[in-house]
Structure 1
């Protein structure tokens, strides 16, 4: 159960990062609300997962999931340029996250 919660909280990590960008310096109320809710859910899930999964592994998986989704979202929406090198590096990051799960 902790791994599922950790993955979901990693997804919420990307949600709050994207909402933070869309808030334009906390000037837009809806993205700010999404940011706060996603931040609480993300941190709460990370905290819950850390009861059974070590801090290093939990944090690395959480950040890896969030970063992967955030970069992919940015490339899909055109906010960030696409390159095959970036995609290969993201796939490497995903491979490392999967490796941490298998090593646990």
Structure 2
């Protein structure tokens, strides 16, 4: 169950990172409130995952999910640049996430 918590924590990290963009420096009320809720939820689920997953693995995977998700949504929502080098680097992050999951399973 801790791995589910970690994935949920990572998805909430994506939510609050994207929310920061929409909150425009916490000047927009609704996006700001949703961003703060996303932050709290992300840290809460990360704390649950840490009950069984080593800290280093959990933190790296949590930030990896957040990074990959934020880059993808940045491309989709904000028309950020897409180039081969960027996609290769995101691929390396995904490989790292999968590798840490496999190592964390032993």
1:16-62 Cα distance to aligned partner (Å, 9 max, x none)? 01101110111101111110111111000001101101110010000
Which ranges of structure 1 fall in alignment gaps of 5 or more residues?
A: none
Q: Flag as ranges the 4+ runs of structure 1 deviating above 6 A.
A: none
For 1:73, what is the secondary structure of its paired residue? helix
- Name the TM-score, length of structure 1 as normaliser: 0.96
- Name the TM-score, length of structure 2 as normaliser: 0.94
Q: Which residue of 2 aligns with 1:10?
A: 10
For 1:27, what is the secondary structure of its paired residue? coil
Q: Which residue of 1 aligns with 2:53?
A: 53
Which ranges of structure 2 fall in alignment gaps of 5 or more residues?
A: none
For 1:85, what is the secondary structure of its paired residue? helix
- Taking the aligned partners of 1:45 and 1:77, their CA distance within structure 2 comes to 26
Aligned length: 104
Change beyond 3 A, Cα 1:47–1:14: same
Q: Which residue of 1 aligns with 2:38?
A: 38
- 1:78 is displaced (CA, Å) by 3.6
- Taking the aligned partners of 1:80 and 1:56, their CA distance within structure 2 comes to 30
Matches within 5 A, 1:22-101: 22-101=22-101
- 1:85 is displaced (CA, Å) by 1.1
